[in-house]
Amino acid sequence: MADNRPICVLCNRSVVHRRRLEITHALFEENAANAQYIIEAIAPQQVEYNGREYICRPCWQRAQRAVQPNNNPAPHECVLQVEEYSRVPSTSANCVFDRCRSVSRRRIPENVRITLLLHSNLFIPDSARICDTHLTSNDWEELIDSPNLRHDFNSTHFVQTLELLKKAVLKKIF
Ligand SMILES: [Zn+2]
Ligand SMILES: [Zn+2]
């Protein structure tokens, strides 16, 4: 970006004269629900935690209201516990591999997501990211046995799962 004015990652407005929060790992770790909402809202742009990313106070508060379950019942609040299937966390904040702290975060290739779903009952949400090292290591067995897998599925996961299956059927390559 040629323009170096600090702007809010959500509304893109200048935060020079506005109350703002600097985006840091600590801020996002302490406010996980908010962080996820924000990261999903700005996807596919990646958060770099480079000390030049901000969110303005109004956007932060809006995110906070959106993630508070009782104030704002979202349509996909219905959650199913499905023991036969597992998924990785939906966060884009770090690599899907448990406790991986690598800063690179890429989208997980569709063929990998389809293969894991078809052969291992493991669903990878659209928002999940993977680091360069784990992407090239190709060690999916480690992911299948990962201690951070979950069994709760919401309607977004349901739709994304069907989309993956549709693509698999249409490509007829699996
Ligand atoms: Zn804003
Ligand atoms: Zn990783």
Task: Tell me the pLDDT tens digit for each residue of 20-77.
Answer: 999 998 898 888 888 988 888 887 677 888 888 999 999 999 898 888 766 555 555 6
Q: Are 139 and 116 in contact (CB under 8 A)?
A: no
Cα separation of 94 and 25, whole Å? 10
Confidence of residue 143 (pLDDT cuts 50, 70, 90): very high
Q: Report the pLDDT averaged over residues 129-156.
A: 93
What pLDDT is stored for residue 51 in this prediction?
87
- The ligand placed nearest to the CA atom of residue 23 is 1
Q: Are 24 and 53 in contact (CB under 8 A)?
A: no
Q: What is the DSSP letter of 69?
A: T
Maximum alpha-carbon separation in the chain: 55
Gap between the terminal Cα atoms of the chain: 41
Q: Which residue(s) pair with 8 in the sheet?
A: 54
Task: Tell me the pLDDT tens digit for each residue of 63-94.
Answer: 988 887 665 555 556 899 999 999 999 988 88
Q: Which residue(s) pair with 95 in the sheet?
A: 129
Show me where the domains of the chain are located. Answer: 1-73, 76-171
Q: What distance in angstroms lies between residue 60's CA and the mean position of ligand 1's atoms?
A: 7
Q: What distance in angstroms lies between residue 24's CA and the mean position of ligand 1's atoms?
A: 16
Predicted TM-score (pTM) of the model is: 0.58
Q: What distance in angstroms lies between residue 109's CA and the mean position of ligand 2's atoms?
A: 14
